[in-house]
Chains A and B, each alone.
Chain A
Amino acid sequence: MAEEQKAKDVNRRTFLQVVASIPALGALAAFAAPLLRYLKPNLDPGLGVPQGRFPPDLIEGDLPRGEPLPIARVEELSEPWSSKFFVFTQKYPQYTPEQARAFTVPGVAIKLPWKVRFPGYREGKEPTDIVVFSRICPHLGCIFNYVPDWREITAGYGGYMPPPERRHGLLGCPCHLSIYDPADRDLPGRVLSGPAPRPPRYFVYEVRNEVIVVTAVEPGGIA
């Protein structure tokens, strides 16, 4: 008899425990949930990203817009393999007190000795011999360099020896030694060596009265 009673008691106790723990756990969860908000950044790229979506997309949601920027006169880039560096400013509306914050994208314009179909120039419909790349490495976001002398690539960028037809100015990233060919005839910026998954991003530009004006940068990349 006593044993039976005991068993019943235990059952009742477990039952009460379960009943009591449900609201307790609920309260705990309710308290903990808003704390997750702490992980969400207080800055938001805003446009192009559906509001409240977590997290905004680093690859696609980057906004390419900014003030059109004259970067060089055409005659400055008349010699083959001459180049010009510039910094383009993107504008993001954000939840900061100023409502806006600018990110900069360093870029480089290179004059080639032959013409290629470059997507940044009239959307690739017209061949051009001036290519304009963002210098943010598509591998892990370092700023890469334009190296006019390919021998420097062999010495300082991990011993890559370009084949004879590519012994000219190349793009080289110091971080993990990705090397790109800005003058590849089919795919300007082709990855020649290194872990980079794709060619560098390009700038969209127009030629206005003999001045090269950059208007936007291919979406994506890590600023």
Chain B
Amino acid sequence: MWERLREWFSERKQKLDLFDETNVERYDNPLYLLGQIVYFSWIVVIASGVLLMIWYEPTTHGAYNSILRIQHEIPLGWLIRGMHKYGADMLIIAITLRIYRMYFLGEYKRPNELSWMILFGSLVLAMISGLTGYLLIWNQRAFWAAKVVLTVAVYLDQLPLIGQTRFGSAIAFAFLGGPAEGQGTLTRFYAIHFGISVLLLILVELYFLFTRRKRFNLSPTALVILLVMLVVTSWIFPAEMGRRADPNRTPLPILSDWYFLALYQYVKYTPPLWAGLGPGLLIAYGMLVPFLDRSKGRRPSERPFFTVVGIMALTYFLVFTALILFNIAVIGRDPHIVLVLTALTLTLGFVLEVRYRRKVRAAEAAMPRPAPRAAVAARPAPSSGA
């Protein structure tokens, strides 16, 4: 048992591919530059973050003012802030796109399960880092976003067995640093925001040290293009300040950073306990998908069910984001529509899967005996380039 686990682990460990650094021959395809972009933007974010720390003041009274000062008084402060914010956005976009690429092309399959799980986990960590990061501005959006997220955790106490341990309140308390959002929260978020990046950075450096991979395969042109993109974005759309946090007034509508918006719409539709469980299930699905998907092929058409689920997730993300931006939600009606649509789509995926498998079996039966095995073995190699 242990032996097998260790074997499994060591095989996956050798095949780790965290930043697409083994796909060198495919760098004419921008889809395979995403891993490199993740690494690049991460370095930008950390470098600018350290510069910001010099002037940032992590107190409820001083935070907002200190950022105003960085933005308007410190020479090039706006640029540093812009690089930090848009660098982080770029990181999240790149890592999300990469995860979708790996999902639709079946790249999470053997021997890449571990790479996939690490990547998926780091997307979650990046989002947590983002959430803890924008509280630091101490503006209205940040204040309410943090409050709403942490209150969801409290409802986990309604769960039958786990609830007895007050697990949900423990989460809220550990993050809040007290019974309400205040200085304790700010300090803790500051620590978490900084800690996540530094911890992951150390781990990644160890990874590069042990695998002796080349850490950077971006061409100078690509590098310059990315940098110019960041600078121009920070110039044209200076990172916003919002209004100073006011615990006694909720803005209408309340929005968070763009990658959480779809989740906010989901929270509108569901009772609070489900608002907490839903994202947890989503993360669990993401982490376990390499083990759930036992299909042979890697092409989207060779595993219809998982392809349909992926498309559905992407559609929901886009549609929910649009809905919350325009503040559209008819709570009495929409959840039913969403449920029915989900059920229909899943059934469709299931039917397609069954039909596809029948077809494959029929084709195998029609062929002479030894042929199918060779055909199955030969298929994945050329198709992974598609």
Chain A interface (Cβ within 8 Å of chain B)? Answer: 39-43, 45, 54-59, 62, 87, 92, 103-104, 106, 139-145, 156-160, 173-177, 193-195, 197, 222-223
| Smallest CB gap from B178: residue in A | A43
**Chain B residues within 8 Å of A174, by CB:** 250-254
Count how many pairs of residues, one from A and one from B, have CB atoms less than 8 Å apart in the complex: 123
Of all A-B residue pairs in the complex, the 7 with the closest CB atoms, nearest first, are A174-B252, A43-B178, A55-B173, A140-B151, A223-B180, A158-B329, A176-B268
Among the 9-residue stretches B7-15, B164-172, B314-322, the one with 4 or more Cβ atoms under 8 Å from chain A is B164-172
CB within 8 A of A45: which of B179, B252, B253, B275?
B179
Mark out the residues of chain B between 134 and 180 whose CB falls within 8 Å of any chain A CB in the assembled complex. Answer: 144, 147-148, 151-152, 154-155, 157, 166, 169-170, 172-174, 176-180
B360 CB, min distance to chain A CBs, angstroms: 44
Q: Give bound CA distance, A109 to B248, whole Å.
A: 16
30 contacts between A and B (CB under 8 A): A39-B170, A40-B173, A41-B173, A41-B178, A42-B177, A42-B184, A45-B179, A55-B172, A56-B179, A58-B173, A87-B248, A104-B248, A142-B148, A143-B250, A160-B330, A173-B250, A174-B252, A175-B144, A175-B148, A175-B250, A175-B254, A176-B267, A177-B268, A177-B329, A177-B331, A193-B332, A194-B268, A195-B267, A195-B268, A222-B147
Q: Cβ of B330 and Cβ of A103 under 8 Å apart?
A: no
> Among residues 276 to 311 in chain B, which have CB atoms less than 8 Å away from a CB atom of chain A?
none
Contact of B179 among A156, A177, A193, A223 (CB under 8 A): A223
Q: A41-B177, A56-B179 are in contact. List 8 more A-B contacts (CB 8 A).
A: A55-B169, A58-B173, A103-B179, A140-B272, A158-B328, A177-B329, A195-B268, A223-B180
Q: Does B121 contact A (CB under 8 A)?
A: no
- State A65–B230 Cα separation when bound (angstroms): 52
Q: How far is the CB of B252 from chain A (nearest CB, A)?
A: 4
> How many angstroms from the CA of A142 to the CA of B267 in the assembled complex?
13
List B contacts of A159 (CB < 8 A).
328-330
B327 and A158 contacting across the interface, CB-CB below 8 Å: yes
Q: By the criterion CB–CB under 8 Å, are B270 and A195 in contact?
A: yes
Q: Which residues of B contact A40 (CB under 8 A)?
A: 173-174
- Picked from B178, B247, B251, B272, the residue with its CB within 8 Å of the CB of A104 is B247
Contact residue among A142, A160, A195 (Cβ-Cβ distance under 8 Å from B250): A142
Whether B147 pairs with A142 at a CB distance below 8 angstroms is yes
Contact partner, A143, options B152, B249, B270, B271, Cβ 8 Å:
B249
| A197, chain B: closest CB distance, angstroms | 6
List, in ascending order, chain B residues with CB within 8 A of A144's CB: 250
Contact B275 A195 (CB under 8 A): yes
Please, which residues of chain A bring their CB within 8 A of the CB of B332?
Answer: 160, 193
Cα distance A142–B331 in the bound complex, in angstroms: 18
Chain A, Cβ-Cβ closest to B191:
A38
Is there an interface contact between A55 and B170, defined as CB atoms closer than 8 Å?
yes
Q: How far is the CB of B272 from chain A (nearest CB, A)?
A: 6
What is the distance, in angstroms, from B183's C-beta to the closest C-beta of chain A?
A: 9
Q: Does B269 contact A (CB under 8 A)?
A: yes
Contacts of A158 in B (CB 8 A): 268, 327-331
Complex-state Cα separation, A66 to B250, whole angstroms: 24
Interface string of B225-266 (1 = CB under 8 A from A): 000000000000000000000011111111000000000100
Contact B169 A41 (CB under 8 A): no
| Residue pair A141, B148 in contact (C-beta under 8 Å) | yes
Quick one: CB contact mask for B176-193 with A, threshold 8 Å, 1 for yes?
111110001000000000
CB distance from B290 to the nearest CB of A (A): 31
Given A174-B254, A175-B250, A195 and B269 touching (CB < 8 A)? yes
Interface centre among B147, B173, B247 (most CB of A within 10 A): B173
Residues of A within 8 A of B250 (CB): 142-145, 173-175
From B144, B250, B254, name the one whose CB has the most chain A CB atoms within 10 angstroms. B250
- Could you tell me the distance in whole angstroms from the C-beta of B287 to the nearest C-beta in chain A? 24
When distances are taken between beta carbons in the complex, the residues of chain A under 8 Å from B179 are 41, 43, 45, 56, 58, 62, 92, 103, 223
The answer to whether A222 and B166 have CB atoms under 8 Å apart is no
Which residues of the partner chain B approach A145 to less than 8 Å between Cβ atoms?
250, 252
Closest residue of chain A to B254 (Cβ to Cβ) is: A175
Query: Would A141 and B170 be within 8 Å (CB), given that A41-B184, A104-B248, A177-B329 are in contact?
Result: no
Bound-state Cα–Cα, A62 to B178, Å: 12
Neighbouring B residues of A57 by C-beta, 8 Å: 166, 169
B148 to nearest A CB, angstroms? 5
Chain B residues near A59: list those with CB within 8 A: 154, 157, 169
How long is the Cα–Cα vector from A126 to B286 in the complex, in angstroms? Answer: 55
**Closest CB of chain A to B320's CB: distance in Å?**
13
Docked complex Cα distance between A189 and B155 (Å): 21
**In this complex, what residue of B is CB-closest to A157?**
B252
